Amino acid sequence: MKYGIIQDGKLITTTDRRIYGDSLSKELQIEEVETKKVYDEKEKKEINIEETVTKVVEGKPVKFAEIPKNFDQTTQAVYQGDPVDKGDYIECGVIVVDLPEEKGLIFDEPIKEEPVIKK
């Protein structure tokens, strides 16, 4: 099971390490840019200061959709869909795309074998 959060439209995950005898890992370290207003004595006005802050947040379970059974890897490609927050969990779907036909490639030509010389 993976746990994660959605940050800036991207899925950030961590793995559940219980299977390795470690404690449950639902926590993720993320970096956020926070803007603070402070009063500047030199300029005698408030200014905005941006600073990067590392936070620890608890992730939600991530459910990944399965690849469809009728998927044909010779004519189609599969991509992970955008993550969607469903409240109690995060869901990632799949996108199946048909590939364009490749022309000019011939694989039916016989392979010429070199004669083996015995001594």
Domain residue extents for the chain: 2-98
What CA–CA distance (Å, rounded) separates 54 from 65? 31
Predicted local distance difference test score (pLDDT) of residue 37: 85
Q: What is the pLDDT of residue 10?
A: 86
Tell me which amino acid residue 37 is.
Answer: K
- pLDDT, one tens digit per residue, over 26-85 is 777 777 778 888 888 777 788 888 888 888 888 889 999 999 999 998 889 999 999 999
Pairing of strands 90-98, 76-85: antiparallel
In this prediction, residue 89 carries a pLDDT of 93
> Tokens 């559940």 sit at which residue?
16
